[in-house]
Amino acid sequence: MTPDAVREAAQILWNHWQDGRHLPALPPACRPDTRAEGYRIQAAVLAVSGRSLFGWKIAATSAAGQAHIGVDGPLAGRLLTGQVSSDGDSVPLGANRMRVAEPEFAFRMGRDLPPRNRPYRETEVLEAVAALHPAIEIPDSRYEDFARAGAAQLIADNACAHRFVLGRPSGQDWRALDLAQHEVVGEVRGRPGRTGKGANVLGGPAVALTWLANELSGLGLTLEQGQVVTTGTCLAPLEIAAGDRVLADFGALGRVEARIGD
């Protein structure tokens, strides 16, 4: 793709995001054919947005999640400042078409993991983590039929990133826990809750975080100190509507809650 085509695609996606509009697909002249082209557009979306990079999200970390958006493996997306809320905040739903909330393990990085020729090991990646947070992602897509858009276009669209709620850092010594077996309960107030566990995220949140570090390394990007990585939903997404209150209970690791606004 030419630089002009990349910028055109990014501007289209950002305009639709800001206006709450959806499109069938990017125009053929600026539609990505590969994951690499999708990531180039994604980086350009950050540039045209005027926002800063808060961190990263991982989409499609389970077979069910991959089937939901029509891909065969995980995707990385950027979390932008201005889209991030704190525990207890009201989060606007707006024109969101997915209308789900996803409880997720999130890690704040304590030091950089720069690109390198050999893959990062899970132990190395965890050593670079400063804190673990309970979190809720409220994803969305700028495509009318996101299940048929394909991985390249979904990556361009920030891997369905939209709103993100970061809970307080866990006071528990989370490194002593088996995060893959750790249970999480998500509920929308007034309805039965759903239970999941860390293993539903690519086999474990640490596995997902390691995948992200290596995905970025392969793109020549650094996973930077201070950035937050949210690792994908660990239970079946919770259907939401304006006026709902969503709670994700991570037990000893803490809780995070969000109010869903109009």
Q: Which domains does the chain have, with CATH numbers?
A: 53-261 (3.90.850.10)
How many residues comprise the chain? 262
Using the predicted structure, report yes or no on whether residue 63 has a pLDDT greater than 80. Answer: no
CA angle (217 as vertex; 236, 15 as ends), nearest 5: 60
Query: What residues pair up with 138 in beta bridges, in sequence order?
Result: 163
Confidence band of 125 (pLDDT split at 50, 70, 90): very high
Using the predicted structure, report yes or no on whether residue 64 has a pLDDT greater than 80. Answer: no
Q: How many CB atoms lie within 10 A of CB 2?
A: 9
- Tens digits of residue pLDDT in 135-192: 999 999 999 999 899 999 999 999 999 999 999 999 878 999 999 999 999 999 989 9
What pTM did the predictor assign? 0.96
Q: Which residue has the tokens 């650094």?
A: 222
CA separation for the pair 196, 215 (Å, rounded): 25
Count of alpha carbons within 13 angstroms of residue 211, beta-carbon side: 21
> Under a CB-based contact definition with an 8 Å cutoff, are residues 64 and 102 in contact?
no
- Tens digits of residue pLDDT in 77-101: 999 999 999 999 999 999 999 999 9
DSSP symbols for 212-256: HHHHHHHTT--B-TT-EEEEEESSPPEE--TT-EEEEE-GGG-EE
- Tens digits of residue pLDDT in 203-239: 999 999 999 999 999 999 999 999 999 999 999 999 9
User: 80 exposed, middle or buried (CB, 10 Å; 0-12, 13-18, 19+)?
Assistant: buried
